[in-house]
Amino acid sequence: MKVFVCANLTKEKSFAAFPKIISELQKNNITPLAESKYADICKSLDISGITFAEAEENAANCDIFLTIGGDGTILRWGKRAASHNKPLLGVNTGRLGFMATLETDDLSKLSALSSGSYEISPRMLLNVTLSSAGKTERYTALNDVVLFKGVRSKLPEYIVYSGDTELTGVRADGLIISTPTGSTAYSLSAGGPIIDPRLSCFELTALSPHTLFSRPMIFSAEVPLKARYIAYENSSVFLSVDGSESIDLSPDDHITIERSDLTLKLIDIDGGSFYSSVHNKLIRPLK
């Protein structure tokens, strides 16, 4: 078995966890793969037995992706894992690590990878199409798509459609359209509900809406959502996909959000990790 270990070794906690994870994998007769750029670091740490190659080659040759970091690391590598139809296990070294199902003090559980004694938590992804000035740009999202106004911009009005039917028009700082996985991220902070990741749906949450009656809404993922905005005194609006894009929009631009054919297979070693995370990372700290 080959496991592609994906880590940013410039981060202290990931750097500290890396050799421990490599050792645990090798103890279970698992061959670790890593990016070529980390070969010198591993040599300086006297870590051997790793197969080094470029990321795309490792992605094609591995059986499993293993990320070291927080949810941002899973967002970064999860789409690549999904495109190769490979499962992914997240080891948490971040602050919350809601999607990561293994903590660094539980590394002995990595033996489950070789035995196959784990569950898969399938996560839907989004296809995002931006139609702008006769051109089309496409993106993939695991968490969410966010439209947001500039810092000094006047308040725009956002128009949202289900298929060709207009759903709502709302003046707000922005809109969040999220997957069930993304329901525990930005949407949660904006007052949206937590959604079981096994569901297939879109969640629409307005950011600071200027109305008494705006509420989060949930829609079937079988029908695409479309969004645009109406400017007020030259409002500036931007598009963000999983927090990694910041694209300047014009009122003539249209964004279409559809369910992707890709699915991320998140490895859940203990089973029921989503509800454990809700309890331990979102509810218990409030007591």
**Which pair of structure tokens corresponds to residue 194?**
């937590």
- Cα separation, 21 vs 35, whole angstroms: 15
Number of neighbours of residue 213 by Cβ within 10 angstroms: 6
What's CA 130's distance to the chain center, in Å? 19
What's CA 143's distance to the chain center, in Å? 4
Reduced to 3 states (helix: H, G, I; strand: E, B; else coil), residue 60 is: helix
**Which pair of structure tokens corresponds to residue 182?**
């993304």
- Cα separation, 80 vs 88, whole angstroms: 10
- Single out the catalytic residue among 40, 46, 63, 71: 71
Number of neighbours of residue 198 by Cβ within 10 angstroms: 11
Element (H, E) at 35: strand 31-35
- Cα separation, 273 vs 136, whole angstroms: 38
- Looking only at the bridges linking them, the beta strands covering 88-92 and 102-103 are parallel
Handedness of CA 250, 252, 253, 256 (dihedral sign): positive
**In this structure, are residues 104 and 92 in contact, taking their beta carbons and an 8 Å threshold?**
yes
- Cα separation, 144 vs 192, whole angstroms: 12
- Cα separation, 264 vs 181, whole angstroms: 11
The verdict on whether 71 is a catalytic residue reads yes
- Cα separation, 159 vs 163, whole angstroms: 12
Just list the catalytic residues: 71
